[in-house]
């Protein structure tokens, strides 16, 4: 199960639109998807026509007193499910702070769902808070929508700095992409050109500013379900493809023509060539049991 968080410190950049549409495209591509709407404004919940309500509120959910799986609702689309928002999520920072190891809490809550879903998408509220830190600790990657303006791009630097200062977030990938791009605006065109020349860390697909996106509130559904052939739907489909490639293509091994004597995790087992995984005795082959003592 991959956990992705659609996140930006800034509000109004298209986070919820991205969450709902990426989740829809992910489920269309054959993934089993859960959206967790963490924003007390509950816009993603509204788009999926689900009541914004958690039995017992967010506090009992976070403390593990409400069965999380029992709160999940199916959407109108196969294999796309939602853990709805609740207005009490506005106090989630405080609730997390009252418990032990608050940063690990969301990851712990998701653990039992690992076999049920291929992908969990968090729709996060803006700002940096304990909730966002808990999201960062649970996520494999942050998907960061950015409007092509100077102020918006500045928030990416703030986010990167925040991650770099925390060693436990070293493996967290940040995948920024441009959202609400209006090519009629000179500033947007300029930013696009500059980014193409200077930044290789951005996803190549950008989401156009589109009236179809604004109609999501009317249809209460992802764009692809009512405007399949629109440029916005095509952009979200392409963006999901790109994200999948980033997350699932094997990363090349570090340079060096001769392999090291010990076999780090992920490298092939010396017996059966299966990738080794961390086990109780050190690195172990899940196929033949070959173990490198740790």
Which residue from 28, 59, 105, 188 is in contact with another protein, where contact means CB under 8 A?
A: 28
The nearest distance, CB 22 to another protein, in angstroms, is 13
Sign of CA pseudo-dihedral 136, 137, 139, 140: positive
Query: Could you say which of 196, 245, 278, 286 contacts another protein (CB under 8 A)?
Result: 245
Strands 73-74, 80-83: pairing is antiparallel
Using CB under 8 A, which residues numbered 186 to 225 contact another protein?
220
d(CA 292, CA 112): 29
- How large is the C-alpha radius of gyration of the chain? 20
Smallest distance, Å, CB 119 to another protein?
6
Choose one: 152-160, 167-175, 190-198, 252-260; the region binding another protein (CB under 8 A). Answer: 252-260
Candidate residues 273, 277, 278, 282; the one interacting with another protein per rule CB under 8 A: 273
Pairing of strands 80-83, 119-123: unpaired
Q: Hey, what's the torsion of the CAs at 72, 74, 75, 76, to 10 degrees?
A: -170
Question: Is 76 one of the binding residues for another protein (CB under 8 A)?
Answer: yes
For 214, the token pair is: 């604004």
Q: According to the binding rule CB under 8 A, does residue 115 interact with another protein?
A: no
C-beta of 167: minimal distance to another protein in Å?
Answer: 26
Q: Which residues on neighbouring strands pair with residue 82, listed in sequence order?
A: 35, 73
- Which residues contact another protein (rule: CB under 8 A)? 2, 27-32, 48-51, 71-76, 78-79, 81, 116, 118-119, 220, 241, 244-245, 247-259, 261, 268, 270-273, 287-290
């Amino acid at each position: 199960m991959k956990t992705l968080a659609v996140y930006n410190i800034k509000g109004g950049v298209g986070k919820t639109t991205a969450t709902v549409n990426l989740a829809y495209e992910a489920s269309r591509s054959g993934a089993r998807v859960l959206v967790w709407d963490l924003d007390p404004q509950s816009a993603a919940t509204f788009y999926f026509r689900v009541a914004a309500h958690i039995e017992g509120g967010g506090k009992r959910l976070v403390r593990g007193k409400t069965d999380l799986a029992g709160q999940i609702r199916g959407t109108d689309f196969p294999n796309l499910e939602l853990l709805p928002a609740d207005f009490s999520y506005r106090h989630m920072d405080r609730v997390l702070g009252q418990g032990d190891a608050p940063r690990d809490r969301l990851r712990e809550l998701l653990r039992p769902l690992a076999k049920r879903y291929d992908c969990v998408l968090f729709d996060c509220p803006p700002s940096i808070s304990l909730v966002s830190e808990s999201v960062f600790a649970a996520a494999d990657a942050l998907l960061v929508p950015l409007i092509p303006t100077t102020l918006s791009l500045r928030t990416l630097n703030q986010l990167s700095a925040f991650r770099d200062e925390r060693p436990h977030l070293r493996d967290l990938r940040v995948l920024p992409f441009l959202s609400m791009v209006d090519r009629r605006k000179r500033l947007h065109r300029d930013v696009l050109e500059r980014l193409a020349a200077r930044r290789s860390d951005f996803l190549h697909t950008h989401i156009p500013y589109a009236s179809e996106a604004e109609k999501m509130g009317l249809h209460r559904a992802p764009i692809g379900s009512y405007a399949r052939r629109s440029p916005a739907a095509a952009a979200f489909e392409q963006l999901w493809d790109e994200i999948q490639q980033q997350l699932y293509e094997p990363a090349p091994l570090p340079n060096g023509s001769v392999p090291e004597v010990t076999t780090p995790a992920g490298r092939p087992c010396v017996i059966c060539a299966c990738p080794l995984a961390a086990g109780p005795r050190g690195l172990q082959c899940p196929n033949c049991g070959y173990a490198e003592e740790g």
